[in-house]
Amino acid sequence: MPRILIVEDHPNLLRSITQALFESGFDVTPAATLQFATNEFSGAIDLVILDLMLPDGNGLDWLSKLRAAGHPVSVLVLTAKDSIPDRVDGLDSGADDYLIKPFAIDELLARVRALLRRETRWDSSSLAVADLQIDLAARKVFRGNDLIELQPRQFELLAYLMRHSGQIVTRKMIATHVWKEPSATWTNVIEVHVNQLRKKLESLDRPAILHTVRGKGYRLGDAK
How is the chain split into domains, by residue range? Answer: 3-123, 126-220
CB 156 within 8 A of CB 136: no
Predicted pLDDT of residue 168: 87
* pLDDT tens digits, 78-133: 988 777 777 777 777 788 888 989 999 999 999 999 888 765 444 446 788 889 99
Which CATH superfamily groups domain 3-123?
A: Response regulator (3.40.50.2300)
Residue type, 197: L
The class that CATH gives domain 126-220 is mainly alpha
Question: What does each C-alpha distance from 50 to 9, 54, 131, 133 come to in angstroms?
Answer: 10, 10, 34, 32
pTM of the full structure: 0.56
User: What does the alpha-carbon distance between residue 19 and residue 70 come to, in Å, rounded to a whole number?
Assistant: 30
